[in-house]
Amino acid sequence: MLDLKFIRDNLEAVKASIEARNVQADADFVARKYDERNALLKELEHLRAQRNENAKKMKAAPDEQTRSALIDEGKRLKTAIPDLENKLETLEQRLYTEATKVPNMVHPDAPIGPDESANRELKQVGGIPEFTFPTRDHIAIGEQLGLLDFERGTKVSGTKFYYLKNQAVLLELGLVRFALDHLARKGFRLMLTPDIARESIVDGIGFNPRGPESNLYTLEGEGTCLVGTAEITLGGYYANEILAAEELPVLMAGLSHCFRREAGAAGQFSKGLYRVHQFTKVEMFVLCTPETSEQEHERLREIEEELFSSLEIPYRVVDTATGDLGAPAYRKYDLEAWMPGRGERGDWGEITSASNCTDYQARRLGVRYKSPEGNRHVHMLNGTAIAVSRAIIALLENYQQADGSVRIPRALVPYVGFEQIGPADD
């Protein structure tokens, strides 16, 4: 969440950010209730001081009449203070509930627009492949080569579940190891994270753990959720802790399964592996000082580009429009790979994102660091290294061959042990 004083003191800018994101939040209410809370705190502090002073006077009362008056005053304060504490608690609950709806501020260079149609393309890397034969999408390729089985995935687990088979299993494992090796060389601490997180951590990161808008699976009666990304478990790692300044930046790379309900996801571009209920992902997460967060954001984007340049997948970088930003993100870059199987002529599809969430998540999670000015909230950033299911789409579709086989990019061959996937017997 944003600092409440910041909301009150920068009300018009906060309201402009809310409007740019096209979300519903009442910053006026937050500012008003923040002032009311401060007034109640001041009043409560005054009453407590009166209670302490009254107790001292009772001990030194010169006569019974004075003592009796002080006892009556003590009884009044004994009732008034709890009443005011209850009033304050109720007000703070309302204040917090509404304050958590207020999204982060937006970067001044982020494109203003209601949805992804307003995203700004920053650059394209790699040539779009030209095929001399009719191209197929990853579903047709995967099923013909015995790599994917959606029909039995649906039979066993439901829609948007699938089986990876044969070389596709090694392809997933190879992509994971390829990404982890690259991140280890970049100084990231490798972590295998839990696939479950407490709802308090999920909420702290800025995800909605419950309700019709939630994209997560909750575990009934447990107060926990299956994670939709390792951003949740990596972000919660230092919850309610104070780091030493010399520890920053903290660079973590987390491997996890990701579970998403994908409620309402439909359309031809959601078919196959593009939007599924379970997939494997390597996530980058950074904790740093406010002064270095924009630099760290560029570092995450550069690493994502290095990975997909090494795989020789054509991609473009887009600056995400305000209306398509999640509530915690100050600015977000997406990498979109060229996917020849999209539509009749191919199209771009998102494969990674990198977000600078400033201190929005850290404030909710209570993650701070020691500085000469006192304890300050860290800035938190996250970025996708490899979302395996979408990487497989890009590989199968861009490297398909006229004979029905799929070539493996040179950088990945040492990780999978073969140069080509040919027709399978199964």
Pick the catalytic residue: 17, 21, 231, 260?
260
Pick the catalytic residue: 172, 305, 350, 397?
350
Tokens encoding 396: 């199968």
Residue 106's closest CA among 328, 317, 377, 362?
Answer: 328
Q: In the annotation, is 275 catalytic?
A: yes
Pick the catalytic residue: 8, 94, 275, 316?
275
Pick the catalytic residue: 353, 364, 368, 389?
353
Q: In the annotation, is 350 catalytic?
A: yes
Tokens encoding 53: 């002073």
Helix (H, G, I), strand (E, B) or coil at 421: strand
DSSP per position, 14-36: HHHHHHHHT----HHHHHHHHHH
Helix (H, G, I), strand (E, B) or coil at 7: helix
Radius of gyration of the chain (CA): 27
Residue 347, H or E segment: strand 347-356
Length of the chain: 426
Contact present, 328 and 379 (Cβ < 8 Å): no
Q: Peptide bond preceding 108: is omega within 30 degrees of 0, i.e. cis?
A: no
Contact present, 320 and 115 (Cβ < 8 Å): no
Tokens encoding 356: 């600078």
Pick the catalytic residue: 299, 301, 390, 397?
390
Contact present, 27 and 7 (Cβ < 8 Å): yes
Q: Left if phi > 0, otherwise alpha if psi is -120 to 50, otherwise beta: which for 312? A: left
Q: In the annotation, is 353 catalytic?
A: yes
Work out the angle between the directed axes of helices 167-185 and 293-310 (0-180°, nearest 10): 140
Tokens encoding 233: 């478990």
Active site residues per annotation: 260, 275, 350, 353, 390
